[in-house]
Amino acid sequence: MAFELPPLPYGYESLAPTISEETMKYHHDKHHKAYTDNLNAGVAESGLEGKSIEEILAGASTLTPKVRNNGGGFWNHDFFWKIMAPGGGQPSGKLANAIAEFGGLDKLKEEFNAKGAGQFGSGWAWLIADASGKLKITSTPNQDNPLMDVVADRGTPILANDVWEHAYYLTYRNDRPGYLKAWWDVVNWNEAGRIFDSVAG
């Protein structure tokens, strides 16, 4: 069973003006679709059919660049769509408590934005949790992610922001820090909280 491009959980226009309709269309229909198609090709070439994407990524050190890069791109974008939603909100429950222990939401946003801005070239900024529920902010190059055995800081992703230029250039041009700052308006805190509860429950 080949991997399939998951549908967006909301309309292309739903995250505007933070993320424009045009950006969403290209990002989902072109970029995410290409990662999906190229992952399927790479999986077939490597004889990995039948494995889950999480199983594949956990063994990233053994993968061809094609499977590592496109498998990461497939998973990362699926995650990215889910942890955004129109309307924003605020963290609550256990995740809010963990953020308070981290030093508060303002500190978390500041560190996350700095990681995203400081990631040279393309990549991702992450908020991850370890098995005890302790939060950490990291970044990865290209389409690597914290599920991969090649990444120094492994953990369960709670939030992620895509800092590839295709994620923001149509609206923000070269202003990656401006995009990172604005992005918090569309964070789906309910979903982030649900994921956190499943780790730290």
Question: Segment near Mn ion (CB under 5 A), from 14-22, 64-72, 137-145, 162-170?
Answer: 162-170
Sign for the CA dihedral angle at 99, 147, 176, 188 comes to negative
Nearest to Mn ion of 75, 196 (CB atom) = 75
Question: What whole-number distance in Å separates Cα of residue 201 and Cα of residue 25?
Answer: 36
Rg (the chain; Cα; Å):
16
Residue 164 CB, shortest distance to Mn ion, in Å, is 5
Buried b (16+ CB within 10 A) or exposed e, 18-42: bbbeebbebbbeebbeebbebbbeb
Residues 180-199 interacting with Mn ion (rule: CB under 5 A)? none
Count of residues touching Mn ion (by CB under 5 A): 2
Give me the half-sphere count of Cα atoms (radius 13 Å) on the Cβ side of residue 60.
21
Residue 70 CB, shortest distance to Mn ion, in Å, is 12
Residue 193 CB, shortest distance to Mn ion, in Å, is 24
Q: Tell which one of 67, 109, 148, 162 touches Mn ion (CB under 5 A).
A: 162
Residue 162 CB, shortest distance to Mn ion, in Å, is 4
Using CB under 5 A, list all residues that contact Mn ion: 162, 164
